[in-house]
Amino acid sequence: MKRLIVVFICFIALIAAITTMVSAMTAEEIINRRDENEYIKVAKVEAEMVIINGRRKMSKNMLTFIEEDNSLTIFTNARDRGTKFLKRDDDLWMFFPEAEDIVKISGHMLNQGMMGSDFSYQDMMESDKLTDLYDFAIIGEEELNGRQCYVLEGVALDGKEVSYYRRKSWIDKERFIGLKEELYAKSERLLKVMNVKRVEQIDGRWYPVESVMENKLRKKTRTEFVIKSIKFNPKIPAGTFTLQNMQ
C-alpha cells in the first residue's frame, strides 16, 4: 500500500511538472502578447490629460490621429485650442496658434514635460513595439491590485535610442496588459512610475484607458491620462501628417 501511495504521488508530481512546462511562457512571448494588445498601428483617439501639481489642477483635451510612425495631436480645450504636435518618424514639431509658428522640438527639449505634464516629448516619440527596443527577462510573479502579474525587466537594446535605459513591468497574466511600469535611467535612478487604473476590452483587445504617470524627479506632481474614445484602424484623411496641415 505504501509503495502504491509513493507511485501515486510521483505521478501527480510528474503531471504538475508537465503542466508547468506546457504553460510556461518566455519573456518574449509575454511581451509579444502585450504588444498585440497595446501596440497601435492606426487609430483615432480622444483623450483628456489632467496635470496635478500640488493643489493646482489643469485639464487638457486632445484629439490624436496615429498611422504607423506618424501622429498628429490637436488640443481642443479652450486654453490650448489649436495647439498641435506632429510626429513623423523620428522628428517632432509643435504649432503655437497665437504665434502662428511651427517649432521643431529636438535635443534636450525632448526630455521636458509635454505641456507641463509628467509625460515628456520623448515619451510621445516612442511608438515602436517594446520587443523592438528592449531585451526582456522574467524576474518574478506578483499580485498587483488583485491581478496576478508577470514581472519583467527590459534593458535597452544596443543602438536603440530610448527614454529609459531600463524598465520594470508588471503584466497581467490573464489579459496581457501592462498594469505598472517603473522607468529607470542608466545610472539606476528611478525616473518615473506609471500605474494603469482601468483597462477595457475594445475590438477584441485589452487596452489601458486610464493611467497615472508620476515623475520622480518632480515633487507633488502627477498626470492622469484618460482615453475617452479610441477607434482602431479608421480611415485617416490624406495629408493629415504634413506640416501644411498644422497651420
Q: Return the exposure string of 34-57: e unless at least 16 CB atoms fall within 10 Å of the residue's CB, then b.
A: beebbebeebbbebbbebbbeeee
pTM, two decimal places:
0.85
97 lies in some domain? yes
Asked, for residue 7, whether it belongs to a domain, the answer is: no
Q: What is the pLDDT of residue 21?
A: 44
4 domain-assigned: no
Residue 17 lies in a domain: no
- Residue 238 has what pLDDT? 93
In a domain, 6, yes or no: no
Quick: pLDDT tens for 139-157. 999 999 999 999 999 999 9
DSSP 132-145: GTEEEEEEEEEEET
Average pLDDT, stretch 93-118?
88
> What CATH number is given to the structural domain containing 171?
2.50.20.10
Question: What per-residue confidence (pLDDT) applies to 184?
Answer: 96
Which one has a higher pLDDT value, 96 or 75?
75
pLDDT(112) > 50: yes
Q: Note down the domain range covering 150.
A: 27-246
Q: What is the pLDDT of residues 176-187, one digit of tens each?
A: 999 999 999 999
Which grid coordinates belong to 137? 527577462
Asked if 77 and 59 count as a contact pair (C-beta separation under 8 A), the reply is yes
**8 is a domain residue:** no
Asked if residue 171 is part of any domain, the answer here is yes
Residue pair 154/165 in contact (Cβ under 8 Å)? The answer is no
Q: Is residue 148 one of the residues assigned to a domain?
A: yes
Long-range contacts of 195-199 (CB under 8 A, 24+ apart): 199/172, 199/175
How much is the pLDDT for 2?
A: 55
Q: Into how many domains does the chain fold?
A: 1
Summarised one tens digit per residue, pLDDT across range 61-85 is 999 999 988 999 999 999 999 999 9
Average pLDDT for 182-209: 96
